[in-house]
Structure 1
Amino acid sequence: MNKRLFTIALSAALTAFALPVVAQTYPAKPIKIVVPFPAGGTSDVLARILGQKLTESWGQPVVIENRPGSSGNLGADAVAKAAPDGHTLVLMDVGNLVISPALFKLPFNVANDFAPVAMVAYSPHLLAVSTKVPANTPAELVAYAKAQKGKLNYAVAAGMGSASHLAGVIYAQRNGIEWGYVPYKGGAQAITDLIGGQVDVMFNGMVATYPHVKAGKIKLIAISSAKRNTQMPDTPTVAESLPGFLTGSFQGLLAPAGTPKAVIDKLHAEVQRIAAMPEVRERLTTLGAEPSGMSPAEFGNWLKAEIPAMAKIVKDEKITVE
């Protein structure tokens, strides 16, 4: 073997040896999971479930850092620029993942600047209204909104350009109704104001919303999943009156691009193990969320497919953040 071939072979062998060593020593220090929204929302709830179990598994503290701003893009940008060693992660929702690229000029590229780790869960949106709104069904809500024409206030969880915003815009446009949009930094404050009657209606993730429905603090009108939910079989889907309507809260865990594959694989395997725990599955089910079995590669392919698909919807529906 000549010197050049020997060098290449040695380099390959060292790489193959080094990656498992990286995985064996990971995590070497506390892990930080950035949630780019305020505490109390869907991403925050899921991050804290995941963080607690990771701490128990690996013995390293997992710190949840809420870093809201710019429709969730501020926290995402911080992680995109963090050291790619697996100790700084971000839990992004569908708004950050595939909607923001169509609406904003971002300082990062979702598809290129992150390494997908795991699609943690999917939960449908709930279409909910204040108890002050005299509507209990989709038809009654549409009729009331048309009668009020522009007087209802729609709460936009996680800022303009979020999944909540997009769901409200498409719903209003397809039903021929008008309402004003009130942006919030996160779902928790939006729900608080919906409970208080300061706003009238919203689409929001089931994880964060359903407990308030069960408590009777807000009224549930419909669910955005393709099929009716077993926990609320009498609640219609939005698609029953608007065929093809499907929205929801996809929650993805990502690391900075360049994070060693061995670390990504170890993280992914642990997230999947945690998601399969009976107590975690039971809690997710109670919250209305479903764990996802996507591999990191499948997650990456999902991003590459959904980002242009969402851009087309934004363009076709003439959706803007102004």
Structure 2
Amino acid sequence: MNRLTRWLCAAALMTFFGSVSMAESRYPSRVVSMMVPYAAGAASDFTARALSGPIAKDLDGQVIVENLGGASGAIAANKVLAAAADGYYLFQGSPSELILPTLVNKSTRYKPEDFQWVAPVAVSPLIVVVRSDLPAHSLDELVDLAKARKDAPLSYGTPGAGTLYNLLGELFIKKTGAQITHVPYKGGAPLIQDLIGGQLDFAFMPYQAIYADYAKQGRLRVIGALSSGKSLPAPFNSVQSSAESKALKAFDFTIWTSYVVKKGTPRPIVERLNAAISASLKDPQARSSLELQAKTVFEPMTVEAGEKFYASEVERYRQLVKTTGYELP
């Protein structure tokens, strides 16, 4: 390689890295999309809309919420991974989209490691919700009813096949011996509407404050909490917890939400987003909105700590899949 060629290569590299550095320093220079992998109106959508304003303020840019349901969140995940690794697509994920599809669905084209952890948001308690006229008022009564319905199994809805809620249904079958029928939806909002309409018997769901209104109106009932603690607001803090249940003692589950970007996003942009999300969780109005939904907001977590947490969660859910023996049909 002659001297001129070496000089041209060096100049090209300097230009490339200089443009990358300038893009990072000017981030964001266009709209940042918060990708929610379910239809508008569900718990995940509520979280994004509570935080989008404070995040935009901290970034001094425009942030929009984009809803894209389908395939248990995989459609939205694939759209984020198909885009450039530049921090302009911020994916709002949970184990149901980031981890479980890669473990139960052989056709899933991505792995948990294809995402770069940015920052956690909150942990949500999981509850069992039933249609208003279902003759079950506790977790144990639900199990007894499911066992008795051999010829016409109870139906349960989830935001999609292979999600945590679907695995909970499989675990329910394994632990109780009762047969129940899975009905997948594109998100929590249409699921709840069918539950209210009586087309569905029950569901495992993250708690939302709107359920208090539905319960008061007699449109559905909350009969149990899938955790040992009484983290739900009144009047639901008196429902039977899994720790109090004879049949479902092993059902100690919550679900976390976090933000991730495509792997390969420049570290300064990842750190900038981490700081913006952490700041948004300190915003009084945003924090109050999340806590009204009985969410436990995460304390600020560095990117490095988050990466370790994410790796441990991947392993934890791998063990859950092994326990259920679940594989997407």
- So what's the TM-score if we normalise by structure 1? 0.88
Question: Counterpart of 1:5?
Answer: none
1:260 matches 2:266: yes
Check 1:23–1:217 CA distance in 2 against 1; reply closer, same or farther (3 A cut).
farther
Is contact 2:117-2:310 (8 Å) kept? no
Check 1:45–1:230 CA distance in 2 against 1; reply closer, same or farther (3 A cut).
closer
Check 1:208–1:191 CA distance in 2 against 1; reply closer, same or farther (3 A cut).
farther
Within 5 Å, give how 1:1-322 maps onto structure 2.
24-105=25-106, 106-111=108-113, 113-149=114-150, 151-207=152-208, 210-211=211-212, 212-213=214-215, 215-231=217-233, 232-241=236-245, 242-293=248-299, 294-322=301-329
Structure 1: distance between partners of 2:298 and 2:151: 38
Q: For residues 91-130 of structure 1, give each alpha carbon's deviation from its aligned partner in whole angstroms, at most 9, with x where no partner exists.
A: 112211221121012211212x111111111101111100
Structure 2: distance between partners of 1:37 and 1:48: 13
Structure 1: distance between partners of 2:307 and 2:79: 20
Structure 1: distance between partners of 2:70 and 2:140: 35
The AA in structure 1 aligned to 2:175 is: R
Q: What is the alpha-carbon root mean square deviation over aligned residues?
A: 2.6
Structure 2: distance between partners of 1:126 and 1:230: 9
Is contact 1:153-1:182 (8 Å) kept? no
Q: 4+ residue runs of structure 1 moved beyond 6 angstroms?
A: none
Is contact 2:54-2:286 (8 Å) kept? no
- Deviation of the 1:230 alpha carbon: 4.9
The AA in structure 1 aligned to 2:222 is: L
Aligned length: 310
Structure 2: distance between partners of 1:138 and 1:280: 33
- Deviation of the 1:133 alpha carbon: 0.1
SS of alignment partner, residue 273 of structure 1: helix
Structure 1: distance between partners of 2:59 and 2:240: 42
- Which sits farther off after the overlay, 31-40 or 297-306? 297-306
Is contact 2:132-2:220 (8 Å) kept? yes
- Deviation of the 1:42 alpha carbon: 1.8
Structure 2: distance between partners of 1:119 and 1:80: 19
Structure 2: distance between partners of 1:321 and 1:239: 29
- Which sits farther off after the overlay, 184-193 or 311-320? 311-320
Q: Mind listing any 5+ residue stretches in structure 2 that lack a counterpart? A: 1-12
SS of alignment partner, residue 229 of structure 1: coil
Identity within the alignment, %: 29
Structure 1: distance between partners of 2:55 and 2:228: 32
Question: Counterpart of 1:7?
Answer: none
Structure 2: distance between partners of 1:72 and 1:214: 31
- Which sits farther off after the overlay, 21-30 or 127-136? 21-30
Structure 2: distance between partners of 1:266 and 1:258: 15
Q: Mind listing any 5+ residue stretches in structure 1 that lack a counterpart? A: 1-10
